[in-house]
Amino acid sequence: MPLRVAVLASGRGSNLEALHRAAQNKQLPIVIVAVLSDKADSGALRYAKEHGIPGFAFQPKDFDSREAFDLALMQAASSVQPNLMVCAGYMRIISAAGIAAAPCPMINIHPSLLPKYPGLNTHARALANGDSEHGASVHLVNTILDGGRVLGQVKVPVMPNDTPASLAERVLNQEHTLLIETVRCITENPRLLQSND
């Protein structure tokens, strides 16, 4: 039985596309059962529509609180009965109530070598610190921002003339493989998702 994956995404959706292509090419035993977003006009939702994946959009301004938003999102996620939720460029912090209401374990891809640089602007921060390497991590989601157990990482060298944009692009190329390989590990060993302290 393929793993049922729900993807949360706010932006362009290249990580979603990488996962979906891997599933379509039979490289990964998963089926993407929904894309959920806080941005109705996101590239990720557009991709979902073009590829017949159910899409759900929720606008934060339609809700009284972060918790109410998150509960609606998790209710929609529950309706497609996922085994795994993947935050792939989901840029909204999920409240503790939202995490508690998640129908299944959740992972996130983050563009830094965690525990370095949780939060935003990771590429600029790595450059400002003069780091010689940067990268991306896939981790379990818990109530600490970008703080759950790391399941996989990829390192990328920083080049002398890098800008935040050039570094982000180089990292993003590697993110796609990292995400696919980490999800593959999960399909082969679901116990990786346990004990998210």
Our finding on whether 55 is near ligand GAR (CB under 6 A) is no
**Which one of 2, 4, 11, 192 is in contact with ligand GAR (CB under 6 A)?**
11
Alpha-helix residue ranges (DSSP H) falling in 104-163: 122-128
**Which one of 76, 94, 102, 172 is in contact with ligand GAR (CB under 6 A)?**
172
Our finding on whether 73 is near ligand GAR (CB under 6 A) is no
**Residue, CB closest to ligand GAR:** 89
**Which one of 38, 131, 162, 175 is in contact with ligand GAR (CB under 6 A)?**
175
Residues from 111 through 170 that contact ligand GAR (CB under 6 A): 111, 136
Our finding on whether 183 is near ligand GAR (CB under 6 A) is no
Does 110 participate in catalysis according to the annotation? yes
Quick one: 194 exposed, middle or buried, by C-beta within 10 A (0-12, 13-18, 19+)? exposed
Q: Indicate the pairing of strand 84-88 with strand 55-57.
A: unpaired
How is residue 109 written in tokens? 């891809």
Residue position matching structure tokens 């508690």: 100
- Candidates 9-17, 69-77, 99-107, 187-195: pick the segment binding ligand GAR (CB under 6 A): 9-17
- What is the number of other CB atoms lying within 10 angstroms of the CB of residue 99? 16
Output the DSSP codes for 89-108: S--SPPPHHHHHH-SS-EEE
**Which one of 6, 22, 35, 89 is in contact with ligand GAR (CB under 6 A)?**
89
Residue among 110, 123, 134, 139 flagged as catalytic: 110
**What's the rounded Cα separation, in Å, for the pair 104 and 95?**
15
**What's the rounded Cα separation, in Å, for the pair 37 and 44?**
8
Residue nearer to ligand GAR on the CB measure, 89 or 98: 89
Binding interface with ligand GAR (CB under 6 A): 9, 11-15, 88-89, 91, 109-111, 136, 172, 175
Catalytic residue numbers read 110
